[in-house]
Amino acid sequence: MQTLVVDHPLVAHKLTTLRDVRTDSPTFRRLADELVTLLAYEATRDVRTAPVTVTTPVTEAHGVRLTRPAPLVVPILRAGLGMLDGMTRLLPTAEVGFLGMIRDEGTLKAETYATRLPEDLSGRQCYVLDPMLATGGTLAAAIRLLLDRGADDVTALCLLVAPEGLAYMDEELKDVDVPIRVVTAALDERLNEHGYIVPGLGDAGDRLYGVV
């Protein structure tokens, strides 16, 4: 698995405000959205394209277009929804699948409660949206589900990752021989005893949508 920490002053600036406990939900949503678009730019470096020729007002020009089947973007509910617009802004032709997963706060294990994905993902590039890669249980389970349906290239976009989560994902997905990438704004220090990322930004879902 490959991890890319996007090193850019705008990313660092927006992330700092996201972390700040005084940032209210509307500002948090806007900044998360902007941050995802910046991450998406890096995350799509390997998006598949094919050569095309277009006619300019002057002459012919050689360029590229995204290939079909269109990439699939998969936000993990609930917090991943806060990343969807920021991603599809750069990839408007992407299709969107949904995965509802919840972490049992006692066992920290992921449970899947909703799946809305194409049955056959052969030949599809998939982009999974999950803001907090903490223990890695949810993201590893989500990626395994996509691979089981035939996905042959998976990139996860996470606002923050913890070293424990990356290590878990490496171990869980070590048998996988297709490209798996994690693109993030920061690799934080550690997890605390409740499975929260430290220093982190708290509960991403609650900060996006309130405590419901």
Q: Closest approach of Cβ 190 to ligand URA, in Å?
A: 11
The residue with tokens 């996988």 is: 176
Give 170-177 contacts, CB < 8 A, sequence gap 24+. 170/1, 172/136, 172/140, 172/144, 173/1, 173/140, 173/143, 173/144, 176/147
Instruction: Give the binding range for ligand URA (CB under 6 A) out of 31-39, 58-66, 86-94, 190-198.
Output: 190-198
Hey, which residues between 54 and 93 contact ligand URA (CB under 6 A)?
A: 79
Question: Judged by CB under 6 A, does residue 204 bind ligand URA?
Answer: yes
180 labelled binding-site residue: no
Q: Closest approach of Cβ 134 to ligand URA, in Å?
A: 4
- Smaller CB separation from ligand URA, 94 or 197: 197
Give the one residue of 39, 72, 197, 208 binding ligand URA; rule: CB under 6 A.
197
Query: Is 65 an active-site residue?
Result: no
Query: Is 46 an active-site residue?
Result: no
190 labelled binding-site residue: no
Q: Which of 139, 132, 140 is nearest to 192 (CA)?
A: 132
CA distance 209 to 212: 8
User: Residue 186: which H helix or E strand, with range?
Assistant: strand 180-187
Question: Judged by CB under 6 A, does residue 132 bind ligand URA?
Answer: yes
131 labelled binding-site residue: yes
Query: Is 153 an active-site residue?
Result: no
**Contacts (Cβ under 8 Å, ≥6 apart) of 197:** 132, 134, 160, 161, 162, 188, 190, 191
Question: Judged by CB under 6 A, does residue 203 bind ligand URA?
Answer: yes
Query: Is 203 an active-site residue?
Result: yes
Question: Kind of pairing, strands 190-191 and 197-198?
Answer: antiparallel
Give the one residue of 99, 134, 142, 154 binding ligand URA; rule: CB under 6 A.
134
Q: Closest approach of Cβ 95 to ligand URA, in Å?
A: 26
Give the one residue of 62, 200, 208, 210 binding ligand URA; rule: CB under 6 A.
200
Q: Nearest-5° angle of CA 74, CA 145, CA 148?
A: 125
Distances (CA, A) of 75 to 18, 59, 142, 157: 19, 41, 10, 10
Residues that bind ligand URA (CB under 6 A): 79, 132, 134, 195-197, 200, 203-205
**Which positions are catalytic?**
103, 107, 203, 206
